[in-house]
Structure 1
Amino acid sequence: MDKKSTEPAKDLSPDGRSSIHGFTHHAEDILPDREPYGPPGVRGLIANPFVLMCAACSTLGGLTFGYDQGVVSVILVMDQFLERFPEVNSGFWKGLMTAMIELGALIGAFNQGWIADKISRRYSIIVAVCIFTIGSVLQTASVDYAMLTVARLIGGVGIGMLSMVAPLYISEISPPECRGTLLVMEELFIVLGIVIAYWITYGTRYMAGEWAWRLPFLLQLIPGFILVAGVIMLPFSPRWLVAKGREEEALHSLSRLRQLPTSDKRVRQELLDIKAEVRFHQQLNAEKHPTLQGGGLKNAVLLDLACWADCFQKGCWRRTHIGVMMMFFQQVSNEDMTNPWKKLTTVGSLLESMLSSITRLRCSKPWD
């Protein structure tokens, strides 16, 4: 059980839960003799290459996000691009076109929570890639400023969905010993995508004709196609399967992820922990939002909005504050605020990053 001297005394109920300021918390019993799956950190990844492959496929979402961020910064100064889109010479229209992807990412991250709960993390990744592919194709084929701006908005929706669901999926399939290492991979892939975009645009900017900027837009389809192909081989999240009442499938999925038989004690113990956490989370939602438990699309969307509001209530606001400020300072340190026209892009990027961070916190375990 978590022990915090600064918290008031808690009244534990028979089922191991406590109530503080109207919020119910889980009293987690951590077994000191629990047998780990393997070594922590990078050594744990080597011990389970299947999980590493699953995480690598998921982090391609971060690669696409970073690639788009990097490719636009160079394309904007290409003479071939400015000849096709003279509106970009104006500071306002340049900032608006650049910020469209951040606005789309804001919309995508905001809606991905209930979509991932409804159709699974796995299928929601496919939906995100399809939306991103449509946006990329339209960007490649753009003939005027309006088409390019709308294309970037559509592509941004897909990127926002990927930036939210990819780390969520990674956290739910990862062994406890190397979960943090796998989550760091997304940030690594974002930076890697930016570097790749810089080198590609460096090579294409000297090409004659419009393919100097169309080709970099077209190449961003490649990681999306690889991601879709990889998702076909990925298992469903065990936590999502348990939440849908498919416990036998969850056991086999967990067994596949851990490369251990279903009879293994560690697999059985982890499945038991997942079941306890999911049931607690469902009961907590039922107690806090009893009128939204009927099922259906309407209730799913309303429940998702209610869970967003819960992030800012007493008992959870400190965790939300930490997540928001971490993403805030990360974006501020990466942006050039000396350019007044880039401020529009920076604000959109800040909002998308903070929203994605809150979404991950909302989907995490209630006692984390």
Structure 2
Amino acid sequence: MSYEDKLVQPALKFRTFLDRLPNIYNVYIIASISCISGMMFGFDISSMSAFIGEDDYKNFFNNPGSDIQGFITSCMALGSFFGSIVSSFISEPFGRRASLLLCSFFWMVGAAVQSSSQNRAQLMIGRIIAGFGVGFGSSVAPVYGSELAPRKIRGFVGGIFQFCVTLGILIMFYICYGLHFINGVGSFRIAWGLQIVPGLVLFVGCFFIPESPRWLAKHGYWDEAEFIVAQIQAKGNREDPDVLIEISEIKDQILIEENLKSFGYVDLFTKKYIRRTLTAIFAQIWQQLTGMNVMMYYIVYIFNMAGYSNNANLVASSIQYVLNTAATVPALFLMDYIGRRRLLIGGAIMMMIFQFGVAGILGKYSVPVPGGLPGNPTVTIQIPEDNKSAARGVIACCYLFVVSFASSWGVGIWVYCSEVWGDSASRQRGAAVSTAANWILNFAIAMYTPSSFKNITWKTYIIYAVFCLVMAIHVYFGFPETKGKRLEEVGQMWDENVPAWRSSSWQPTVPLLSDADLAHKMDVSHKEEQSPDAESSSEEKP
């Protein structure tokens, strides 16, 4: 008996308990609730970056050096790595909502531990616990959205996750900006304590959102799956052509997967799945190697190099967070208009240009600061105060880099990695593995960045610029287009070994039917199920 089979009865009781409450069926509201898990990550970025340069924080935690501060910052990503790996063991037998509930629980516990921290060790433990919760949310929320959304708006709905990340960064930064005027440890304790709020909202919201119809279908609850698809796509009309097509696709895919053995992590690296697994893993790795989290977690350090300090530094940083949120909005629409590939390639090239811009200006106009700035030994170069033009140039390149990321790789990768698998057998475990790759790179970069600023200064940006060039090339040759394609069509594209650069114009052949044929097929099947003979012989899976 498999692990999931042993949990059938507990999972059934848990789902029955959740389904007693009335559900929301507006796909935008559902996605907004589930993607609060992304807002949590945004809260963490701001609540850490806003205080690492403050005297109250440094004095209370005994002036952490670059290595220790790097580890404190990266503990969130370390917890998220393990949370991502574990998430599928909950999401598969218990459903997507169960993982989101655990996401909110661990986040709230972690926030409480951080807020009450008495030393570095407690702060690190709190960040690991909170990160464990974020790992659950970041693995499950994008998949949940892709399984619920109609394919015509799947990019928009999937992109809500990244929008919530940017919105969380923005909201929390201004909260922290206000709190930094408080003298003493209350400034960062209140900020970390307020992180409980989004966790509580997600926890309550999970009781009012439906389960994924593909998860329900996979576990034999066909009537409920059809009901949810009809509610979301046609306001309850089960005879709507889009509903008939969607259910027919799900049925065809589930029937194929029923002949397979239980799907595990090892299966992701078999001949059938290895290419899509590596593509998704590298997509998440490349997102981290853009250097965006360097710009976010350590923005205070970057603007120190440009000659900004104290309140002026925070104000300049806040503009970057506003741009990050604003630039995410058009990307929600662009993905479903120009496609994933064009967006990712164009974004990588633009980020490369602005990373080289930051490196070039700092390399040309900054001067060494032996021993680092007063109270901040990590920053060992700075643009002189009398060279305002160079300082503004650095900040302008940072702003333009953030806009380039937010409108491309920020949104695109979370959507792409939820679509690229092509079938429900691999989707959740595949998303967990690729998300874990994101978090382990996040951990490494957060650890490495303070030391890189201290030792190789402006050359740090050259490294990320080169990565941006390499990722643009990789997307062109290795990332197939998923825009406008059914999730099952994506799987067929992999099976037929369609070259990535030809995937945009590729059209499915057999065995997938046209929309009209699928609708007719499902309509006939639906009428047969409603006949007396069919009703007397059918049994619902317990």
Report the TM-score, using the length of structure 2 for normalisation: 0.50
**Relative to structure 1, is the Cα distance of residues 61 and 267 closer, same or farther in structure 2, using a 3 angstrom cutoff?**
same
Equivalence for 1:314: 271
Structure 2 residue corresponding to 1:305, chosen from 261, 265, 271 = 265
The alignment's C-alpha RMSD in Å is 2.8
Equivalence for 2:140: 165
Would the aligned equivalents of 2:180 and 2:188 in 1 still touch at CA under 8 Å? yes
Look up the SS of the partner of 1:206 in the other structure: coil
- Aligned ranges for residues 138-287 of structure 1 at < 5 Å? 138-258=113-233, 259-284=235-260, 286=261
Alignment of 1:77 with 2:53, yes or no, is yes
How far did residue 278 of structure 1 move? Answer: 2.0
Equivalence for 1:325: 282
Q: Distance in 1 between matches of 2:492 and 2:196?
A: 39
Look up the SS of the partner of 2:259 in the other structure: helix
How far did residue 321 of structure 1 move? Answer: 3.3
Q: Distance in 2 between matches of 1:321 and 1:251?
A: 33
Alignment of 1:121 with 2:83, yes or no, is no
Equivalence for 2:43: 67
Higher mean displacement: 202-211 or 274-283: 274-283
Identity of aligned residues (%): 27
Q: Distance in 2 between matches of 1:253 and 1:172?
A: 11
Which amino acid counterpart does residue 288 of structure 2 have in structure 1?
Q
Q: Distance in 2 between matches of 1:256 and 1:93?
A: 51
**Relative to structure 1, is the Cα distance of residues 199 and 360 closer, same or farther in structure 2, using a 3 angstrom cutoff?**
farther
Which amino acid counterpart does residue 139 of structure 1 have in structure 2?
Q
Would the aligned equivalents of 2:25 and 2:209 in 1 still touch at CA under 8 Å? no
How far did residue 208 of structure 1 move? Answer: 2.0
Alignment of 1:105 with 2:169, yes or no, is no
- Aligned ranges for residues 334-349 of structure 1 at < 5 Å? 334-336=292-294
Which amino acid counterpart does residue 191 of structure 2 have in structure 1?
P
Which amino acid counterpart does residue 81 of structure 1 have in structure 2?
Y
User: Whose radius of gyration is greater, 1 or 2?
Assistant: 2
Would the aligned equivalents of 1:109 and 1:359 in 2 still touch at CA under 8 Å? no
How far did residue 119 of structure 1 move? Answer: 0.6
Gaps of 5+ in 1: 1-47, 287-292, 294-302, 343-352
Look up the SS of the partner of 2:236 in the other structure: coil
How far did residue 360 of structure 1 move? Answer: 7.5
Q: Distance in 1 between matches of 2:66 and 2:265?
A: 36
Which amino acid counterpart does residue 268 of structure 1 have in structure 2?
L
How far did residue 367 of structure 1 move? Answer: 3.5
Which amino acid counterpart does residue 427 of structure 2 have in structure 1?
C
How far did residue 195 of structure 1 move? Answer: 1.9
Equivalence for 2:427: 363
Which amino acid counterpart does residue 363 of structure 1 have in structure 2?
R
Which amino acid counterpart does residue 155 of structure 1 have in structure 2?
A
Q: Distance in 2 between matches of 1:83 and 1:245?
A: 58
How far did residue 80 of structure 1 move? Answer: 1.8
Look up the SS of the partner of 2:183 in the other structure: coil
Equivalence for 2:110: 135
Higher mean displacement: 133-142 or 312-321: 312-321
